[in-house]
Structure 1
Amino acid sequence: MNYLKLSFCVCLFVTSLISAQNKAITLEDIWKTGKFRTEGMDALHSMANGQQYSVLDFNRSTRSTSVDIYDYQTLEKVKTLVSSSDLAEMPYFTSYTFSNDEQKVILAGNEEAIYRHSVVGHYYVYDIASETLTLISEDGIQEPTFSPDGEKVAFVKDNNLYVKDLVSGETKMVTSDGEKNKIINGITDWVYEEEFAFVRAFDWNVDSDKIAFIKFDESEVPEFSMDVYGKTLYPQQQVFKYPKAGEANSKVSLHLYDLESEKLSDLKVDKKYKDFYIPRILWTNDADVLSAQFLNRHQNALDLWAIDTEKNTSALILAETDKAYVDVTDNLTFLEDNSFIWTSEKDGYNHIYHYDKKGKLINQVTKGNWEVTAYYGYNDDKDVIYYQSVENGSINRDVYAIKLNGRSKKRLTSEEGTNNASFSADFSYFINTFSNTSTPPVYTLNSSKSGDVIKNIKDNKALSQALKTYTFSKKEFSTISINGNELNMWMIKPADFDANKQYPLFMTQYSGPGSQEVANSWNSYNDYWYQYLAQKGMVVVCIDGRGTGFKGADFKKVTQNELGKYEVEDQIEAAKTLGALPYIDAEKIGIWGWSYGGFMSSNCLFQGNDTFKMAVAVAPVTSWRFYDSVYTERYMTTPQENASGYDENSPINHVDKLKGDFLLIHGSADDNVHVQNTMRLVEALIQADKQFEWAIYPDKNHGIYGGNTRLHLFKKMSDFVIEKLID
């Protein structure tokens, strides 16, 4: 036997094995191949019987979609409810919505995005018993919604509200004054959609005989225009209503359509202020009583009204005020007796409250120096509320059960990290999604009574195994003492870190009000980028400074009227503190961010010119004067009232301080943070005779994605960061 040859083969095998287990992450791995994609459960819906759930499944071999029913206890598929492979009219659908009795399903096809949440598409009603498919409208429509009895569908087309009777097949036009960029019925305008996070502005009552809806008169709202370059000889122009800070908002009004009389009527309340928002409407369990939330323009006073649509009377049942602002949520829940559950920060932390139907406080359900981060629902059979909170530390999330009277609280999850629950309709089970910084999402079936895991559903083991072949650094959590506060921080060091060497420092942050970047959860795609940069030889850190969330109202709202002041002070001071560490090269510190984070990274480089060597800003706000009314005024009031707060913290007004290297990036079709922000900053930099680098991505929105775009973007940023901090 040739021992020399055997030895060589063994050596080659071991070398190959070591190499295979220490692959370097590439940008193509992150943004092109999908290697790091996690498996999930798409469009999970608990069936009314509480014993089954449905999901939207995609069959790659047949290129078809289906709604499949699974049993909670066995996790086995019970049946396929409907498959696009059996539907000649609909070869593919992207979402589904059940009627209350689960005998019909709305299937969505040909959906096209309008803005962040809104879409227009063609929708069909599938009758499960007869296996028939009915097209709701030949034209593209928005927000088709079953009536509670399942016999009708309301929807919006061309800014008007319609109702289709599924029994007779007749479609009635409810409103007729809808007009683009003027009047919208039943659908929110741009700023409501973006900042109050809802699109459907109509709601059915429990008896299916009335529809309440909000009308938006945006006639006086200034228009914003964007060139869309496309591939034609001449570019097109997109024009839409966009109220910037201090400018005119849509005038909103509340209306009622009675299906029996076919009459429209106005619904009014005795408001204390003329300029207001209606961020939520919701029918109570009384078919004649509608709840509506009215918010003043400063957003520090939120009123909950009960409107009796038969008597045409209204009563103020809850008035919430705050020295800064009141958050709008979807947590309002009416119980059988029309008492209601509400969440509030009024004691300094976000907690759950129970009020009677007239707005008298019955009790505060949760209490403590911690935040409720999600309200899941109320089980009336057990008299139990289910919620998620940060009781286990502000970077973690756990699921809890508590009696309506605030007693018998029980923690239902045990693994440290991020837990999120999806409960069965009868609250007997919940599917828990767990992850932490070292564990990709794990889906388990749990008992709602004990929290015990009944069965594992998905665990992303294939991804875990694949990642073992790559060189990864641990994300280390800690806190850092900055400006009198203990701030949450994570740090990623190079895998071959040597404490006797010095490394460049690259800081990432978002920093916006109530946000959180330092969380004990699985990787985002950006986290793989940070691993990539660590492999190149730099230390990457993230710090949540003052103004971020889940540490109480005072910590979050300290930035009120001064966006960009305290947050910038914290990032600069943190950079100096970290720069003093023996293994950090204080001459090579960089920072980056996107959107609010880009506003921050620009400010940090300019105002911290003795600390930061470089910065990357993607789609940044460069003056809050350019941003929308709802978001900006919530934290800054109007420019007319707070000119210094707007101007003293604007990067545009600090360009003369630039010393380091600056890369500025924006999408030309960003309907959210307009490219105007970048253009104005560019002009200020030019007039200050400051050199910088910049890139505009044609026809790309705030997300800057599509085709090869993300890969190109991150190659550009990576080359810049590596050149300025390492090369």
Structure 2
Amino acid sequence: MKKFFVLCTVLLMTVGDIMSGNMLQLKDIANGTYSAEYLSAVTPLSDGESYAMISKDGRQIVKYSYKTGKQTGVLFDVGNTIGESIDAFDNYIMSPDGTKMLIQTNTKNIYRRSFTATYYIYNIADRRMERLSDKGIERIPVWSPDGLKVAFVRDNNIFLIKLLYGNAESQVTKDGKTNGIINGVPDWVNEEEFGFNTAMTFNADGSMLCWIRYDETNVPTYSLQMYKGLDPENNEFESYPGFYSYKYPKAGFENSSVSVMSFDIQSRQTRKMQLPMDTDGYIPRIKSTTDSEKILIFTMNRHQDQLRLYSANPRSTVCKLLVDENVPKYVKEEAMENIMVTRNHILVPSDRSGHMQLYLYSLTGQLQGQLTKANYDVTDVYGYDEESGNVYYQAAGKNPMNREVYVTMKNGKTICLTSREGCNTAVFSKDFKYFINQWSDSNTPYEYSIYTNNGKQTVALIDNKALKSKLADCGLPKKEFFSFKTSEGIELNGVMIKPVNFDASKKYPVIMWQYSGPGSQQVINSWNVGSMGQGALFDEYLASNGFILVCVDGRGTGGRGAEFEKSVYMNLGNLESKDQVEAALYLGTLPYVDKNNIGIWGWSYGGFNTLMSMSEGRGVFKAGVAVAPPTDWRYYDTVYTERYMRTPKENPAGYDDNPIKRADKLHGALLICQGLADDNVHPQNVFEYSEALVQADKDFKMNVYTNRNHSIYGGNTRNHLFRQITQFFIDNLK
């Protein structure tokens, strides 16, 4: 397409008519036509030589050899069971001894990570399948270490199944109540912001069951209005809307009261752990150890700058402090999430040195050493080998845009196990002899291979050849990485997509996408790059309409150490919006950029920063789109908001710097998009912001999506949303 603002004929057509032939189609991007092939639900098996995964057709669970990559058996087949039979399944959970599995069916999502399902116990040797329970749907079933018991949650209560007693079912707790008491699964805010859905574990010998109990009675309730809608239809709301009400603690308000309980399976006695913690603190994890007299409990203060790990005796209820992690500003959620308990050790990631590094503690809490000592961030942890003393992990070792798999040996020597530039992840065998490597870069879909633990590739598994061919027919331009310095001397990284048939002698309008939230990263050399992932296909589509697409990771984003990431502490949106404005100013100096036609958009935090950037004071953005944006952090939840901002009472100035207060400074055409059933960023945010814009006499457009959550999908919804964003930029960046 020639110079974009020559639109006399294009504007007479719909967006869907612009592309033809083998070029990208918007509906295809929205409906997953260009989805990559993945390895599905890979589970390393206890023999150390094998792994299991779901077959391509989704009907089997197949066993493979790490050594050869070849199939060595079928562990489960939908069409070949004895006893119960099913037509399809969604996932599986292998028993610790590898002889049985739980087959997950009829999955229905609740929130981002929580769901209900119907489970079956499947015996691999004789193919016999039985219902886990015939008394209702289940949540988060957990195997005992000996594989002879399963605990699960139903209606906020915990139930226990004993396989040796004819799958006898007993009820462990009876106080569970909707919007009151929750046993064994986290409440909304703990699930969302501490990233887990299971708050229950057996001890090492399976004699005790331990769980986190949440009392959310005093947490304020938020109600989402629900309508009849279409796809799906809620016919009960045909005449009058209804409400979905749940407990949601907003910044500064009361959280659930949390405690840890234990249940002696033989005596059926329930006890409460004597856990020393603040009354308003958090318990973000509970884990088993190899000692039946010890479970590991994580606690965190409300400010989230102190993480403590306790050893708790489930019988005596006595708790002993093992690790006391204090770092400036806040403990990253990813650091807490990646703590690993091995046979004799606790592996703790920490950014206490300024970069995320790995520290080894004994099970008695003695620091035994800093395993990694680098000036780059460890970004994922794969495990610690007790036999060799080697630790395996992922890091941004070469630069913030790439990820490699590393091993650091007991003697301190560090080896990079992946040689290809891009993003590498790993799933290691139980004995760490092999790993499955997922590799991609910004221009290449995922490839899967098997490597040995010395970095030698042995087997190629998936190359996504069909997708690569399909994309080649579209003639997509390559993504280009760049960096520049702002007027404050801050070096920022970016990625650019130029239109097909780019002509450097012409000037093009620019659309910037960003997320910008603390610790996030979108300028990454991975197929996950882009505003919507998928190798930035939606952004490529926008580029095919004559735009240059750009993303810049500003201050606060991840992969560059604690100082860069935590610089936004107590004043979210200030530095992030300055850096997006600086990026637009830099782009305006490029000879092929039309500096008078630059737009910006983002989703969630990216929507918030879109509004902050368009109201920063320097009117560089002609148009912007904010999808599901927080507009005042007082409306958002305690855990996330207070991690970075503390409470509104402690930090009123930080909270007051928000899009609503900046409404009179809004510059440029604005489109707001919001799902009306968004349990995460409530519609309250855009309703209050729109009122501020009205009173400031600012024009804007708003699309609402009936009964849609924070992801705004279902039926034709995502296609419609993409088309609105595209058409809005076509109409306003001329």
- Is TM (by shorter chain) over 0.5? yes
**2:25 equivalent to 1:26:** yes
Q: Counterpart amino acid of 1:342?
A: V
Q: CA deviation at 1:356?
A: 2.5
**Does 605-614 or 415-424 show the bigger shift?**
605-614
Q: Distance in 1 between matches of 2:140 and 2:342?
A: 26
3-state secondary structure, aligned to 1:324: coil
Please point out which of 687, 690, 705 is paired with 2:695. 687
Q: CA deviation at 1:526?
A: 7.2
1:108-128 CA distance string (max 9 Å, x none)? 111100000001111110012
Please point out which of 654, 657, 662 is paired with 2:662. 654
Structure 1 partner of 2:145: 148
3-state secondary structure, aligned to 1:433: strand
Q: Distance in 2 between matches of 1:699 and 1:127?
A: 41
Q: Distance in 1 between matches of 2:142 and 2:340?
A: 20
**Change in CA separation of 1:666 and 1:555 when aligned onto 2, cut-off 3 Å:** same
Structure 1 partner of 2:205: 207
1:2-61 CA distance string (max 9 Å, x none)? xxxxxxxxxxxxxxxxxx9984322123123x33111111001111112221111253xx
Structure 2 partner of 1:4: none
1:401-440 CA distance string (max 9 Å, x none)? 112x352221110000001111111211111010001221
**2:301 equivalent to 1:296:** yes
Please point out which of 77, 80, 100 is paired with 2:96. 100
3-state secondary structure, aligned to 1:574: helix
**2:458 equivalent to 1:454:** yes
**Does 675-684 or 214-223 show the bigger shift?**
675-684
3-state secondary structure, aligned to 1:268: coil
The answer to whether the 8 Å contact 2:442/2:535 transfers is no
Q: Distance in 2 between matches of 1:438 and 1:610?
A: 33
1:643-673 CA distance string (max 9 Å, x none)? 110112x101111122310000000000000
3-state secondary structure, aligned to 1:477: strand
Alignment of 1:49-64 (within 5 A): 49-59=47-57
Structure 2 partner of 1:327: 332
Alignment of 1:383-398 (within 5 A): 383-398=389-404
The answer to whether the 8 Å contact 2:483/2:491 transfers is yes
**2:93 equivalent to 1:84:** no
Q: Counterpart amino acid of 1:110?
A: N
Structure 1 partner of 2:16: none
Q: Distance in 1 between matches of 2:66 and 2:302?
A: 46
Q: CA deviation at 1:606?
A: 2.1
Q: CA deviation at 1:574?
A: 1.4
Q: Distance in 2 between matches of 1:341 and 1:662?
A: 47
Please point out which of 466, 471, 484 is paired with 2:470. 466
Structure 2 partner of 1:134: 130
Please point out which of 176, 179, 184 is paired with 1:178. 176
1:366-399 CA distance string (max 9 Å, x none)? 0121000111012223221111101111110101
Q: Counterpart amino acid of 1:227?
A: Q
Alignment of 1:566-605 (within 5 A): 566-605=575-614
Q: CA deviation at 1:609?
A: 5.3
**Residues matched between the structures, number:** 697
The answer to whether the 8 Å contact 1:104/1:126 transfers is yes
1:202-240 CA distance string (max 9 Å, x none)? 111110001111100000000000111124223221000
Q: Distance in 1 between matches of 2:467 and 2:617?
A: 40
3-state secondary structure, aligned to 1:303: strand
Structure 2 partner of 1:368: 374
The answer to whether the 8 Å contact 1:572/1:608 transfers is no
3-state secondary structure, aligned to 1:74: coil
3-state secondary structure, aligned to 2:121: strand
3-state secondary structure, aligned to 1:684: helix
Q: CA deviation at 1:608?
A: 4.0
**2:316 equivalent to 1:316:** no
Structure 2 partner of 1:610: 619
Q: Distance in 2 between matches of 1:171 and 1:424?
A: 34
Please point out which of 640, 643, 647 is paired with 1:638. 647
1:586-608 CA distance string (max 9 Å, x none)? 11110000000000111111224
Structure 2 partner of 1:562: 571
Structure 2 partner of 1:163: 160
Structure 2 partner of 1:435: 440
Cα RMSD for the two superposed structures? 1.6
Structure 2 partner of 1:12: none
Structure 2 partner of 1:8: none
Structure 2 partner of 1:619: 628
Please point out which of 75, 79, 87 is paired with 2:69. 75
The answer to whether the 8 Å contact 2:264/2:315 transfers is no
Q: Counterpart amino acid of 1:601?
A: T
The answer to whether the 8 Å contact 1:508/1:542 transfers is yes
Q: Counterpart amino acid of 2:478?
A: K
Q: Distance in 2 between matches of 1:21 and 1:666?
A: 30
Q: Counterpart amino acid of 1:447?
A: T
The answer to whether the 8 Å contact 2:257/2:279 transfers is no
The answer to whether the 8 Å contact 2:424/2:438 transfers is yes
Q: Distance in 1 between matches of 2:190 and 2:479?
A: 37
Q: CA deviation at 1:509?
A: 0.4
Q: Distance in 1 between matches of 2:20 and 2:541?
A: 16
Structure 2 partner of 1:243: 249
Gaps of 5+ in 1: 1-19
The answer to whether the 8 Å contact 2:272/2:317 transfers is no
Structure 2 partner of 1:14: none
Q: Distance in 1 between matches of 2:331 and 2:440?
A: 31
Q: CA deviation at 1:334?
A: 3.1
The answer to whether the 8 Å contact 1:378/1:384 transfers is yes
Please point out which of 96, 109, 112 is paired with 1:113. 109
Q: Counterpart amino acid of 2:35?
A: R
Q: Counterpart amino acid of 2:732?
A: K
Q: Distance in 2 between matches of 1:443 and 1:377?
A: 20
**2:515 equivalent to 1:510:** yes
Q: CA deviation at 1:269?
A: 2.4
Q: Distance in 1 between matches of 2:146 and 2:492?
A: 51
1:664-716 CA distance string (max 9 Å, x none)? 00000000001111111111111222111110000000000111111111111
1:54-87 CA distance string (max 9 Å, x none)? 111253xxxx621111222332222221111234
Q: Distance in 2 between matches of 1:662 and 1:423?
A: 47
**Does 483-492 or 212-221 show the bigger shift?**
483-492
Q: Distance in 2 between matches of 1:500 and 1:359?
A: 64
The answer to whether the 8 Å contact 1:351/1:366 transfers is yes
1:273-328 CA distance string (max 9 Å, x none)? 33100001112221111211110001111111112334432221211112210124
3-state secondary structure, aligned to 1:442: strand
Structure 1 partner of 2:562: 553
Gaps of 5+ in 2: 1-18
Q: Distance in 1 between matches of 2:640 and 2:556?
A: 15
Q: Counterpart amino acid of 1:117?
A: R
The answer to whether the 8 Å contact 2:53/2:61 transfers is yes
Q: TM-score, normalised by structure 2?
A: 0.93
Q: Distance in 2 between matches of 1:312 and 1:500?
A: 74
**Does 212-221 or 72-81 show the bigger shift?**
72-81
**2:706 equivalent to 1:709:** no
Structure 1 partner of 2:11: none
Q: Counterpart amino acid of 2:568?
A: T
**Identical residues among aligned pairs (%):** 42
Q: Distance in 2 between matches of 1:354 and 1:691?
A: 56
Q: Distance in 2 between matches of 1:714 and 1:526?
A: 16
Structure 2 partner of 1:719: 727
**Change in CA separation of 1:461 and 1:259 when aligned onto 2, cut-off 3 Å:** same
3-state secondary structure, aligned to 2:587: helix
Please point out which of 96, 119, 122 is paired with 1:123. 119
3-state secondary structure, aligned to 1:105: strand
The answer to whether the 8 Å contact 2:307/2:324 transfers is yes
Structure 1 partner of 2:286: 281
